[in-house]
Amino acid sequence: MSEILTIDDAATRWSPGERARMPLLVLLHGYGADEHDLFGLSAYLPEGIAVASVAAPLTPPWPMPGRSWYPIEGLDGRSSAAVTAAAEALLRWLDIAAPDAPSVALLGFSQGAAVSLQALRLAPERFGAVVALSGYAAPGDLPDDEVLAALRPHVFWGRGTHDDVIPPALIAHTAEWLPSHADLTGRVYTGLTHSISEEELADVRQFLTRWLENVPA
């Protein structure tokens, strides 16, 4: 049985100002980072949204700093069950933290991207859009994958040609799986490593602006 994980809401960083009944973008950091890591992206995002940057529920093995969404070490590293446990924790957090948001989008980097896509698979009708940067879709089937394929939610998947962190087999799986389960905007950035570029952020801003245009007033 997978460990039941809990996201510490006290560690969540929220954008300043009013956030009641505003569209919400949730930021999910990568392995070894924390809730502060992606918060600096707020300046690159469209206006008119609330932003919440959450802290992953696990601590990676010493001496790695920060937090992690699931283990990457050992024979069971990057297991789909562990990714699912993290996504379930995110959904429970959303139940409490943002029950009245008119629309919720996710933006995840690396591990955070994998968890974002898994949360979308667990609750396809819950999210208006997902941005997955330098990440992947976990292998295996989930009960609502057919619902996801019918709904075809908007997903942005960006990665670099020089990213040597995500295993090639997971990239190949994602490249095959995503187009049949989402309305996919895919971008591959020449020379980009396991990181985020300003060119990619400009594309993300445009993608999220389209999401906002479809949120009911």
How much is the pLDDT for 153? 97
Has domain 9-213 been given CATH number 3.30.70.270? no
Task: Quick: pLDDT tens for 74-132.
Answer: 766 789 999 999 999 999 999 999 999 999 999 999 999 999 999 999 999 999 999 99
Catalytic residue positions, numbered: 110, 163, 194
> What average pLDDT does this structure show over 11-32?
93
Looking at the DSSP bridge assignments, the partners of residue 14 are 52
Residue 17, burial from CB neighbour count under 10 angstroms (0-12, 13-18, 19+): exposed
Single pTM value for the model:
0.95
pLDDT of residue 63: 86
Averaged pLDDT for residues 123-151 = 97
Q: Confidence band (pLDDT; 50, 70, 90) for 137?
A: very high
Per-residue pLDDT averaged across 158-184, rounded?
A: 97
Domain range summary for the chain, segments of one domain joined by +: 9-213
